[in-house]
Each structure stands twice: as C-alpha cells, then as structure tokens.
Amino acid sequence: SDLGKLRVDRWKTDSGAKRQSQGDVESLQRNLQSALPGLITELRNSPEDIAATFKLYHNLDALHDVLRSVAENAGAFGGKSEYQALANDADAIDSVRRNLADRIQTLAASKEVELARLRTQLKAAQAAPPPPPKKIVVDDTEPAKKPARKKPKSTAIGDP
C-alpha cells in the first residue's frame, strides 16, 4: 500500500501537521482494512440495494477527501514520489466514486419507475369494481327414493 510507504516523520513541517497527517494515514488504513471490505461485501450480496450502494459511496467520498488531503500534504512537505503515488490512488478512488454515483442515480431512477408502475396498478385495482361473488349451490336434499318394484308372484300351473 502506498500509505504504508509514507514517511510522515521526515516531512518538512511542524509536529502538529505531522501528527494530523499521521492520524489521517492511520484512519485511512483502518478504513481500507476494516470498513471498506464489509461495505463491498454487503453491496455484492445485494447489488440492487440503494442503501448499501449509498453507504459504500459515502465511505468512498470520505476516503477520497482524506486521501486527497494527505496527498496534498505529501506534495507540500514530503517527496514527489509520495505525492504522485497518493494522487494516483486518490484519482482511482474518485473514478470509482463517480461510477458509484452514476449507479446510484440509475438504481434510483429504476426504483422510481417501478414504484410508479406499482402505484398505477394499485389505483387500477382499487378503482375496479369487485367481481360479483360466485354463487355456490348446495343441494343437500336427499332425492326421493324410487319405490321398490315388487316381483309379481308367480302362480303355479296347477293351482285352481
């Protein structure tokens, strides 16, 4: 990491500015190692989640601002190579941040279209008269039994 190569203690500035810059460097390193990976994982798990996308954007925005400040201090008080490496890193984060901002805008527009469609469907469903209830006829009467047919009695041939 370019941050790990910085020699803030050798910068040509007062001790207060060095402490501030060193604190910024440590904060950047903590964020890059702890917060950023979790935010990226969260977004990868839910790529359509606007809130997760915005959390990552917000974090990158803060990273960019602090990194740009450290890069400018490196340019003013440190070596040219330190400045150039950090400026390149800040530019890369800025590029990702801009792409993420475009993605947020696209996601928000898509969600607005979906929301408008759902609202229209809801209004149409509420305005339509309910369908008439289906009539169900229950025939629970038992049919009349047919009279049983009696067999005619057979008469014997020899009976008078």
Residue 157 counted as domain residue: no
Asked whether the beta carbons of 99 and 57 are under 8 A apart, the reply is no
Residue 122 counted as domain residue: yes
- CATH code for the domain of 117: 1.20.120
Residue 112 counted as domain residue: yes
Q: What is the pLDDT of residue 127?
A: 86
Domain that holds residue 80: 8-127
Q: What is the pLDDT along the chain (160 residues), one digit of tens a residue?
A: 688 888 998 899 999 999 999 999 999 999 999 999 999 999 999 999 999 999 999 999 999 999 999 999 999 999 899 999 999 999 999 999 999 999 999 999 999 999 999 999 999 988 888 778 888 877 777 777 777 677 766 665 655 5
Residue 134 counted as domain residue: no
Residue 159 counted as domain residue: no
Number of structural domains in the chain = 1
Residue 149 counted as domain residue: no
Residue 13 counted as domain residue: yes
Residue 37 counted as domain residue: yes
